Amino acid sequence: MTTARENIVILTGAGISAESGIATFRDKDGVWSKFKLEDYATPEAFERDPVKVQTFYNERRAGMKDKQPKAAHEALARLEKEHSGEVLLVTQNIDDLHDRAGSENLVHMHGELLKAWCTHCDNRSAWLYNIEADSVCASCGQKGSLRPDVVWFGEMPYQMDRIFDALDRADIFISIGTSGAVYPAAGFVDAANQAGAATMELNLEPSDGSYLFDEVAHGPATEIVPNWVEGFLTES
Ligand code: BJW
């Protein structure tokens, strides 16, 4: 009996962008070791102190300018182009490194740092610079209604129906560079296992949920992701 390899769902997290110089969240020098998440990544924090939260995101947006996609991002874009079946790439990352590497069937489930969301007219638009208290929405002209288009704790991640539909049909599910500490993404491996998919973790080290995967490979994303993609495409 041959194992189905048609439909692939890939989940990525901060670890895939770590070698591009973007900090992860929960590693020793991660974002949450320097900033208390309750003060920056909740709607309540934004309501309490919008300037503090906008400054945090403005600095991270400015810091992304010189960051480049690496071999792992490029390998996933190659997989999408060369695999005859479906590849859905779901990223928790708010950077644009998968986009710039060329991935197209891509969901930014936690939003995008380079977009602003107008809470007045609900428009989302590309935003490369600082969001200030007097920034004006390009769509409705409202002043002071823009926030980063990112998903904070307690908010619903984007395109969940599309993701769970793909997980229901998945033959292969791969989790790359994520600690698996944040739901609903942390539950995708259970959904994939229930759908009968082969599941694999590619991470620097075993995550707390490593035991949930059929296979694991550990090491830097720039090595283990291109290796896996090369092997998969060669066997196809
Ligand atoms: C490398 C590497 C290298 C390093 N190579 N690997 C109690 C129980 C269960 C759930 C909850 C609960 N209380 C509240 C909740 C829900 C909550 C939640 O999960 N909280 C947990 C903390 C418990 N979740 C939510 O609120 C979410 N919304 C929600 O649940 O809505 C309701 C809903 C219900 C049902 C269905 C659907 C929805 C929203 C979560 C929003 C998360 N937002 C953030 C911030 C985004 C904006 C920003 O960037 O500021 O998203 S938090 C942060 O964590 C960010 C990340 O996307 C996310 C995940 O982090 P990630 O990517 O895993 O990074 P790390 O640092 O944790 O891990 C990096 C990994 O890489 C490590 O393993 C390293 O080893 C590895 N690595 N270098 C390969 N070179």
CB neighbour class for 228 (10 Å; exposed up to 12, middle 13-18, buried from 19)? buried
Is residue 138's pLDDT more than 70?
Answer: yes
Total residues found in the chain within this entry: 236
The pLDDT assigned to 3 comes to 74
Q: Where residue 2 falls among pLDDT bands split at 50, 70, 90?
A: low
Question: What are the tens digits of pLDDT across the range 73-123?
Answer: 999 999 999 999 999 999 999 999 999 999 999 999 999 999 999 999 999
Averaged pLDDT for residues 160-188:
98
> How many Å apart are CA 148 and CA 205, to the nearest integer?
31
Q: Is the pLDDT of residue 1 over 50?
A: no
Q: Give catalytic residue positions.
A: 110
Q: Is 66 exposed, middle or buried (0-12, 13-18, 19+ CB in 10 A)?
A: exposed
Please report the pLDDT score of residue 4 as a whole number.
83
Please answer whether residues 80 and 106 qualify as being in contact, where contact means their C-beta atoms are separated by less than 8 angstroms. no
Share of the chain above pLDDT 90, in %: 97
**Residue from 153, 162, 188 to probe ligand 1 pocket by mutation (most atoms less than 8 Å from CB):** 153
157: DSSP letter: P
Structure tokens at 201: 């973790």
> pTM to 2 decimals?
0.97
CA 140 to ligand 1 centroid distance, Å? 32
Helix then strand then coil, % of the chain, to nearest 5: 40, 20, 45
On the question of pLDDT at 36 being above 60, the answer is: yes
pLDDT of residue 141: 97
- 42 contacts 153 by C-beta, under 8 angstroms: yes
197-208 average pLDDT score: 98
Query: What residues line ligand 1, using a CB cutoff of 6 Å?
Result: 13-15, 18-19, 24-27, 30, 41, 92, 94, 110, 150-151, 153-157, 160, 177-179, 181-184, 203-205, 207, 220-221
Residue 187, classed as helix, strand or coil, is: helix
Residues ≥6 apart with Cβ < 8 Å to 139: 118, 121, 123, 125
Residue range 61-71, pLDDT digits in tens: 999 999 999 99
